[in-house]
Chains A and B, each alone.
Chain A
Amino acid sequence: MSYPIIICEDNPVQLKQVEKTITNYLLFHEGNFEIKLATQSPDDVMHYLSQNEVSNGIFLLDIDLNHAVNGIELAVQIRQSCVDAKIIFITTHDELMPLTLQRKVEPLGFIAKDQALDVFRDEILELLILAKARNDKYNTDKNKSFNFSISNQTFSINKDEILSIETSTIPHKIVLYTIDEQHEFYDKLSEVSAKHPELFKISRSCLINLDNIETVNHHDREITFTNGMTRYYSIGKSKKLKNAMKR
């Protein structure tokens, strides 16, 4: 499958350079990517997006576009219309705000303009390959993600890494534990359970991922997960749990 590439860079020389780098690469790796649009104006990008459906798109954007809309704002707009977009910033900005950008548009990476040409080229290709790898993985794992949202942000967690999903002491607040993360969001455990029937209910307040169980101590009704976290299951669940684990 070839992934669409869209480039937006106000400097025509640099735009050519980026384009050339990618076309040269494509000479030997045909079919991986396809340059759909290379433009100096962010308006063109938005226009193109309104006319065409772009899925798994890769966007190379200059931050400083000499335009009413800068690269970051453009990225925010792109993110709104293409949730799965891979965004790469090309920039000379020394005042970069990686965390804020991460928060707003989750870019795949940054490429600094002011460096040797071959390094610049290598970095572009490296990020393109990363984008492809992510897209490939995303497409095979599509139904393996657990999504939740907080106000206007959506978060996606790999289901394989989930240990448990639990209620908290605050009504409607749910805590999700993964192997090395802990998230809080608002939902009802019953609804989560209905949406993800593969999660096993060990008690009224706790759903778990059976795949990440390390050991179960049926005597104490204690479940230990791969990272050492422990949870207890309700008395009534013993038989069900044993059956579920056999499968």
Chain B
Amino acid sequence: MVVDTKIYLLHFSLLTILQIIVLFFILYSVTNTKKIILYLLSMVPIMILLIVSDLFNILTICITYFIFKRYKFDFFVLSSILFVQIICTITYYFCESILNFVEKVFSSEITSFYPISFWSNVFLLVIVIFLVKRYKIVDRLKKSNLISTSLFLYFFLVIRLTIFISNFFDILDTSIMVINFLLIVQAIFTVLAFLIISYNRRKKYNFQLLKKQLDVLKEYTKELEYDEQVNAKFKHDYKNLLLSLKGSAENDSSSELINTVSDLEQYSDNYFKKIEVDFRHCQNIKNDYLKSLIISKLSKAKQKEIACHFECEMVVDKMPIDQFDCVRMFGIVLDNAIEAAVETAHPRIDIMLYQDDNQLEFWVRNNYVANTIDLKSLRQANVSTKAGHSGLGLVNIEEISQKHPNILKTFSKKKDIFSVNIKILVN
């Protein structure tokens, strides 16, 4: 292949300009004219250096980064630059290898090699820009963090190194397919690594979030429990005082006083009659998270004026499964019960927590308006009973119970009573 230096240079400069255009397209939102001018000016000497050696690419990246970065570690700018570099390098070598391949097959030289190569590059990059827009890649790049950026950097270095080595041993033309294959393997590896890492991070983050929420809940329920105790004590004292006052009023046989006292009694009875929730058995729950959950749901039910009965006769201290999974699952069941019961005329929920050597058992029974709960749709995980429902959450219960084979569930609906029983067996 005869290489005309002038054509080669023209081709090269045009490709670099293309690359700059793609970069501007991505960085468009975080840049200004001053930076662009500075950047374009700095590109002139760099292009000359690039002709000398590909290795100056690293320099390009550094300079571009320092021009465009907005703060000390701007992952978005860095990963965008790397992204553009990777894409342009890949498209360039892709076109090159295809044309080389065509030449080999027809064993004749393509006369207008560079123009074809250039236009196919343009074509590919237009597709890339389209894809970037279509899949909102810019938004994704904006979320880059240390991990995704280092993976970009890793992949970029692998590509560059491969090309450098193959240039060095002058095997780029002969074994282009092997190199392409290696690059594809690397690309798959990078994407997989990224997915695994980000999945783990999200899991960890969710776990921490849940723990934080539960800790807040714990604090809150501590206060709630204290208030409840004070309330109960107050009520007790108050009733006793009222009783003795009534007694002495009757002794004095002062009709006015008797009337006033009985008025007061009536008034306060009305107040006390408001739904009372029994928090006593909560003392038996020795796991703080579970205890907070029960107390907070009981008080939520109380706020919604649901007659709520809670029993926990045995001390509950062991959790046969991960405590957070357990608390999450019970929370979902209670939320569902509250939501279903509140729609009835006389909402009522019975809750039981039970533990023996073999199992931890959780049983919730609530009334509901007939036809709002359909066991059939409960089975088909994703369906919730009504639109705008906060999600019946049964999907989540199913998900948790998939994780732990020692969970056994029972659902039943009879007349107007819906019941969920969850047994967690000790292995």
Binding site for B on A (CB under 8 A): 97-100, 103, 150-152, 169-171, 173, 177, 180-186, 227-229
Contacts of B200 in A (CB 8 A): none
Q: List 15 A-B contacts (CB under 8 A).
A: A98-B309, A99-B350, A99-B352, A99-B365, A100-B313, A150-B408, A150-B423, A151-B358, A173-B408, A177-B379, A180-B375, A181-B412, A182-B379, A227-B375, A227-B376
CB nearest neighbor in B for A229: B376
Contacts of B361 in A (CB 8 A): 103
- Given A182-B409, A184-B408, A98:B354 Cβ within 8 A: no
Contacts of A186 in B (CB 8 A): 408
- Given A151-B425, A180-B413, A185-B408, A97:B313 Cβ within 8 A: yes
Q: How far is the CA of A152 from the CA of B358 in the complex (A)?
A: 8
Assess the B402–A103 pair: CB atoms within 8 A: no
For residue B325, give the distance in angstroms from its CB to the closest CB of chain A. 15
Q: Which of B396-424 contact A (CB under 8 A)?
A: 402, 405, 408-414, 423
Binding site for A on B (CB under 8 A): 309, 311, 313, 350-352, 354, 358-359, 361, 363, 365, 375-376, 378-379, 402, 405, 408-414, 423, 425
Contacts of B402 in A (CB 8 A): 169-170
Contacts of A170 in B (CB 8 A): 402, 405
Q: How far is the CA of A150 from the CA of B376 in the complex (A)?
A: 24
Which secondary structure dominates where chain A touches chain B?
mixed
For residue A156, give the distance in angstroms from its CB to the closest CB of chain B. 13
Assess the A100–B412 pair: CB atoms within 8 A: no
- Given A97-B311, A100-B354, A152-B358, A182:B365 Cβ within 8 A: no
For residue A61, give the distance in angstroms from its CB to the closest CB of chain B. 17
Assess the B405–A171 pair: CB atoms within 8 A: yes
Contacts of B311 in A (CB 8 A): 97-100
CB nearest neighbor in A for B363: A99
Assess the A182–B375 pair: CB atoms within 8 A: yes
Assess the A183–B410 pair: CB atoms within 8 A: yes
Contacts of A228 in B (CB 8 A): 376
Assess the A181–B411 pair: CB atoms within 8 A: yes
Q: How far is the CA of A181 from the CA of B419 in the complex (A)?
A: 9
CB nearest neighbor in A for B351: A99
For residue B381, give the distance in angstroms from its CB to the closest CB of chain A. 12
Across the interface, B352 reaches (CB within 8 A) one of A103, A151, A181, namely A103
Contacts of A182 in B (CB 8 A): 375, 378-379, 409-412
CB nearest neighbor in B for A172: B405
For residue A74, give the distance in angstroms from its CB to the closest CB of chain B. 16
Contacts of A98 in B (CB 8 A): 309, 311, 350
Contacts of A185 in B (CB 8 A): 408
Q: How far is the CA of A228 from the CA of B380 in the complex (A)?
A: 13
CB nearest neighbor in A for B411: A182
